[in-house]
Structures are given as C-alpha cells and as structure tokens.
C-alpha cells in the first residue's frame, strides 16, 4: 500500500477508541478495545512492515541524535510512516492507561478529558497533565 494511504488508515484506526474512551469509557465495547489492545497491535504490524520496508535498520543509529536524524532523513516515507505509527500506538496505550488508572483511583472522568485530548495530540503532555491530576486527587505520588 502507498504510505500516504496507510498514514490515513492508521490515523483513522485510532479514532474510535479515543472517542469511546472520552465519551463512553465504561461501555463494554470500550472496555473490550482497551483490554484487547487490538488497535495498538494492528499498528504494531504496520510499524514492523514499514520500519523494515527500506531494508535493514541501522540499530547503532539509535545511539545518537544525529543517527536518529539520519534514519528519518534517509529512510524515506516508510521509515517516517513507521515513526508516526509508533507515536499513534504508544499514545493510545498511554490514553488507555489514563482511563484505567483514573477508574482505579476513583478520579472523576470529566477530570481526565483534557489530559486524554493532550495525550491524543501530544502524548507525553497528556500523561503529565494526568499525573498532576492524579497527585492532587490522591494526595500521593505512586509509581
């Protein structure tokens, strides 16, 4: 498949779970998606396909910023797509963690909607916002 098409497909694939986690976090379908990890696993398959589509990956390049920059600069659309799919998958896993953890800690759902939005758009920013809310609501720092 053409990388641009896969890009659109991957972006579309994550939307249902994100929307359900925001508007219907306790619905059985939402719970099933979160517990099955179906969407992140599907993204993982795409990741593997496109990461290695340009030939072998120079794992030594991960050891420096210039090496990673070179991977993206020289890897073509397949490597860039793999990087994007990586973000989509792990941001969704982080969002799933936020929903689960907030339920476990009895944090009202309305308080995590903004962190979920930021997790969707800017992964670590949403996780940081949730962490602050979690500390304030539970009055303790736990790992």
Comparison of pLDDT for 53 and 7, the residue scoring more = 7
pLDDT in tens, 24-72: 999 999 999 999 999 999 999 999 998 888 778 888 999 999 999 998 8
What is the domain count for the chain?
1
Tell me the per-residue pLDDT of 103-132, one tens digit each, with 9 for 90 and over: 999 999 999 999 999 999 999 999 999 999
Please check whether residue 32 lies inside any domain of the structure.
yes
Nearest CA among 74, 92, 78 for reference residue 19: 92
State pLDDT tens for residues 68-99.
999 888 888 888 999 999 999 999 999 999 99
Asked, for residue 143, whether it belongs to a domain, the answer is no
Nearest to 18 by CA among 84, 86, 89: 89
Q: Which residue has the higher pLDDT, 143 or 29?
A: 29
pLDDT of residue 142: 67
Name the pLDDT band for 7 (thresholds 50, 70, 90).
very high
pLDDT band for 143, please (50, 70, 90 cuts).
Answer: low
Residue 54's alpha-carbon distances to 2, 41, 65, 99, 118, in angstroms, are 14, 21, 20, 37, 32
- 69 within a domain of the structure (yes/no): yes
Domain-located, residue 93: yes
Select from 82, 73, 30, 74 the least CA-distant residue to 53.
Answer: 82
Q: How buried is residue 141: exposed, middle or buried, by Cβ count under 10 Å (0-12/13-18/19+)?
A: exposed
Give the model's pLDDT for residue 71. 87
At 17 the pLDDT is 98
Q: Is 44 a domain residue? A: yes
Q: What is the pTM of this model?
A: 0.91
Residue 122 is classified by DSSP as H
Q: Please report whether residue 49 resides in a domain.
A: yes
**Does 1 or 11 have the greater pLDDT score?**
11
Give the structural domain span for 16: 3-138
């Amino acid at each position: 498949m053409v990388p641009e098409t896969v890009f659109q497909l991957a972006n579309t694939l994550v939307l249902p779970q994100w929307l359900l986690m925001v508007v219907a976090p306790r619905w059985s379908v939402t719970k099933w998606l979160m517990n099955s990890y179906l969407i992140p696993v599907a993204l993982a398959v795409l990741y593997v396909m496109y990461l290695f589509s340009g030939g072998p990956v120079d794992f030594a390049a991960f050891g420096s910023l210039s090496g990673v920059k070179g991977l993206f600069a020289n890897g073509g659309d397949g490597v860039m797509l793999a990087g994007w799919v990586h973000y989509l998958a792990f941001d969704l896993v982080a969002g799933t963690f936020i929903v689960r953890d907030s339920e476990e800690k009895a944090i009202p759902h309305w308080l995590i909607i903004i962190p979920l939005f930021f997790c969707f758009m800017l992964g670590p920013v949403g996780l940081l916002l949730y962490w602050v809310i979690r500390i304030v609501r539970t009055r303790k720092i736990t790992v």
